[in-house]
Chain A
């Protein structure tokens, strides 16, 4: 049985991931109905607690919650105006008093969702913490690949970009590995974490061409222009020339390879314009599947019987 919180792919085993994907598959059908709403979480309250700005993930969770008839409340204390630690737990206690049935947390610091989960009675769902994990993004990526390719076992997935700073990369590596795919990462040497091969069971490449050879799935990560240029890469332009995915480079991958991107895309940087728009619809499928996947997450985690009262809770 699935645990109480969803803090990272690292806590899930293969059968739990598959249960989430199977549930999401059924949730998709609801989005195709005339009345896109089921009464499952009627009377439950879900709180989106986003310390770091986010448009799509927050909206995706909000729609997912509403489709399950939950009341969704958005709470966005600005991280800069508060001091870490103390105020986060104060906020958590405030939420406790609101009888939340699930709290969805995003924070720029790794580990904050887990810390909040320690003090809250409600289940906590990680919507992205620092460079640690972004489990629902990885789950929806796996869901999309399974939908398009029919399976994940035995596929080759190449993740291209800033592996070092990317929680999306980390969660995806863990998820695709657990589901039986071969995972490769490709990036400039400065963006590949040391010992990644031993730690995560992936193959690391600095040559994009070699990394793409025979790939079924090519996932481009967002390059954070402002933060990285000059420090980890000489320039965005050079990065784009070497590691940006365009039609010519895609030739090295399998003919039926799909191109994914967690969004938002820097057009012309990590993905060429024609690929961002063309290569039929998988990137927009990712967005649509995100709602179904998050409905599955809320169904399986939110509003379950309260945690065993004992020890630390009052």
Chain B
């Protein structure tokens, strides 16, 4: 083993002092794993159980992922539902970009992501799946988008992480993990092996003067 000295990046994974933090590039600002791949799978399996428990007619379930993070999670959740209740649940993807409420005020034009709805949502119990929920604005946008595809019987929300900081009256139905955060920290779902095979949920500290907040 190489002896670790105070200068190695590994020593930095402790939260840096704010003085130091000001000029550090983001990756060095204390990246901490909140959930590893197995932990994510366990959370989703538990959520699959909860969904089955609370849904009177589970054959009407329809998972809808919010890209990008929601996509691998919705797939795992669908697998979980198959294991738990032998259910084959359709999985759709709805991009929320064109429904965002900040397009005009910021003038930003984020890249669009794919939308794929394999079948009609009418009379289905739609479960929206997102990785990180914070302000609730993405969920609001996703609900609006969903309504353009029909009239679901009900809409529920799964968030792998609930960070708090809600700005809209939106409550999650199923939560993987509640993580109290500071507004400027970032919580990200990452693909460790690049092929959606191994996931990792991390929290990244932010310097105090960094105005860029992650929005979810």
Contact of A37 with B by CB under 8 A: yes
**Distance of B131 from chain A, by nearest CB (Å):** 20
Q: Complex Cα distance A43/B107, Å?
A: 14
**Distance of B68 from chain A, by nearest CB (Å):** 13
Contact B112 A38 (CB under 8 A): no
Residues of A within 8 A of B150 (CB): 34
Contact B109 A29 (CB under 8 A): no
Residues of A within 8 A of B95 (CB): 26
Count how many pairs of residues, one from A and one from B, have CB atoms less than 8 Å apart in the complex. 47
Contact B104 A39 (CB under 8 A): no
Contact of B38 with A by CB under 8 A: no
**Distance of A1 from chain B, by nearest CB (Å):** 9
Contact B111 A40 (CB under 8 A): no
Contact A299 B148 (CB under 8 A): no
**Distance of A11 from chain B, by nearest CB (Å):** 17
- Taken residue by residue from 119 to 145, chain B's Cβ proximity to chain A (1 for < 8 Å, 0 otherwise) reads as 000000000000000000000000011
Contact A26 B104 (CB under 8 A): no
Known: A39-B99, A304-B109. A33 touches B149 (CB 8 A): yes
Contact of A22 with B by CB under 8 A: yes
**Distance of B189 from chain A, by nearest CB (Å):** 22
Contact of B113 with A by CB under 8 A: yes
- Taken residue by residue from 15 to 45, chain A's Cβ proximity to chain B (1 for < 8 Å, 0 otherwise) reads as 0000100110011011001110111100110
- Residue count of chain B within 8 Å CB distance of chain A: 19
Chain B residue with minimal CB distance to A302? Answer: B109
Q: Complex Cα distance A135/B144, Å?
A: 33
Chain B residue with minimal CB distance to A2? Answer: B109
Residues of B within 8 A of A300 (CB): 109
Q: Which residues of chain A from 174 to 190 have a CB within 8 Å of any chain B CB?
A: none
Contact A22 B111 (CB under 8 A): yes
Q: Complex Cα distance A305/B103, Å?
A: 9
**Distance of A240 from chain B, by nearest CB (Å):** 43
Q: Complex Cα distance A23/B95, Å?
A: 12
- Residue count of chain A within 8 Å CB distance of chain B: 23
Q: Complex Cα distance A68/B116, Å?
A: 19
Known: A26-B113, A29-B115, A299-B98. A305 touches B107 (CB 8 A): yes
Contact of B5 with A by CB under 8 A: no
Chain B residue with minimal CB distance to A38? Answer: B98
Contact of A128 with B by CB under 8 A: no
Contact B148 A38 (CB under 8 A): yes
Contact of A303 with B by CB under 8 A: yes
* CB contact between A35 and one of B98, B109, B114, B148 (< 8 Å): that residue: B148
Chain B residue with minimal CB distance to A43? Answer: B104
Q: Complex Cα distance A34/B149, Å?
A: 7
Chain A residue with minimal CB distance to B99? Answer: A39
* CB contact between B103 and one of A2, A30, A35, A40 (< 8 Å): that residue: A40
**Distance of A36 from chain B, by nearest CB (Å):** 9
- Taken residue by residue from 147 to 159, chain B's Cβ proximity to chain A (1 for < 8 Å, 0 otherwise) reads as 0111000000000
Q: Which residues of chain A from 40 to 87 have a CB within 8 Å of any chain B CB?
A: 40, 43-44, 68
**Distance of B7 from chain A, by nearest CB (Å):** 37
- Taken residue by residue from 219 to 237, chain A's Cβ proximity to chain B (1 for < 8 Å, 0 otherwise) reads as 0000000000000000000
Q: Complex Cα distance A43/B116, Å?
A: 27
Q: Complex Cα distance A38/B106, Å?
A: 18
A-B contact pairs, 6 of them (CB 8 A): A2-B109, A19-B111, A26-B113, A29-B116, A38-B98, A68-B98
Contact surface of A with B, Cβ cutoff 8 Å: 2, 19, 22-23, 26-27, 29-30, 33-35, 37-40, 43-44, 68, 299-300, 303-305
Contact surface of B with A, Cβ cutoff 8 Å: 95, 98-99, 103-104, 106-107, 109, 111-116, 144-145, 148-150
Give me 16 other A-B pairs in contact (C-beta within 8 A), A23-B112, A38-B148, A299-B98 excluded.
A19-B111, A22-B111, A26-B114, A26-B115, A33-B148, A34-B149, A38-B98, A38-B99, A39-B98, A39-B99, A39-B144, A43-B104, A68-B98, A300-B109, A303-B103, A305-B106
What are the nearest 9 A-B pairs in CB distance? A305-B107, A26-B112, A304-B107, A38-B98, A35-B148, A40-B98, A29-B115, A300-B109, A23-B112
